Amino acid sequence: MSQVTDLIPHRPPFLFVDEIVSETADGLVAKRTLRADEDFYKGHYPGAPITPGVLLCEAVFQTGALFLARQAQAGQGANTGVPLMAKISDVRFRNPVYPGETIIIEVKKKESLGGFTMMSGSVKSAEKRVLTVDFTVAWTTPTGAPKA
């Protein structure tokens, strides 16, 4: 997990990527195993747990942040700050994800323009397409953030 936490600021319980599987110059593949004891399953839904779609999207966005962080390490992008979501579009949910499943998360860079990186992402589970999404990320230092 340190290969993930060394790159992005997300931490449990709001970390939805376990490891990087592979990467190319224009994309990255990661995976996450959804454990039955995850807190969100207690309320979504009791007796019939299903992974919330918004958390599956978050796994894609975190994978995008990992890709951008690796780009920064290679000298091809910003190397300070945090990833901030600028736009989400064309989200399509195709199949549910249940406790115990391992998802494969893939992101691909479409283009970069003016400090923004446009990407596409997808999630699969056991070769079933779970979701697709287009999104835009800005790597920036938030202003006005409270000091810890």
CA distance 106 to 31: 9
In the annotation, is 10 catalytic?
Answer: no
Q: What's CA 120's distance to the chain center, in Å?
A: 11
Strand partners, 87: 136
Six token digits for residue 111: 């283009």
Strand partners, 117: 112, 137
Neighbours of 19 (CB within 10 A): 13
Among residues 44, 70, 108, 110, the one annotated as catalytic is 44
Q: Is 109 helix (H, G, I), strand (E, B) or coil?
A: strand
Dihedral class, residue 127 (left if φ above 0, else alpha if ψ from -120 to 50, else beta): left
Dihedral class, residue 138 (left if φ above 0, else alpha if ψ from -120 to 50, else beta): beta
User: Annotated active-site positions, please?
Assistant: 44
